[in-house]
Amino acid sequence: MRAVLQRVTTGSVTVENEVVAQIGLGYVILLGIGPDDTPEIARELAEKTAYLRVFEDEAGKMNLSLLDVNGQAIVVSQFTLYADTSRGRRPSFINAAKPDLAEPLVDVFAERLREFGIATQQGVFGAHMVVDIRNDGPVTILLELPQA
Alpha helices in 13-115 (DSSP H): 39-51, 99-115
Query: What is the radius of gyration, based on Cα positions, of the chain?
Result: 15
User: Is residue 78 among the annotated active site residues?
Assistant: yes
Select which of 6, 49, 72, 79 is catalytic.
Answer: 79
Q: Which residues are within 8 A (CB) of 13 and not within 5 positions of it... i.e. 6 or more apart?
A: 19, 20, 21, 22, 74, 76, 121, 123, 124, 129, 130, 131, 132
Select which of 38, 80, 93, 140 is catalytic.
Answer: 80
Helix 99-115 vs helix 39-51: crossing angle, to nearest 10: 40
User: Is residue 6 among the annotated active site residues?
Assistant: no
Select which of 72, 78, 120, 121 is catalytic.
Answer: 78
Please identify every residue annotated as catalytic. 78-80
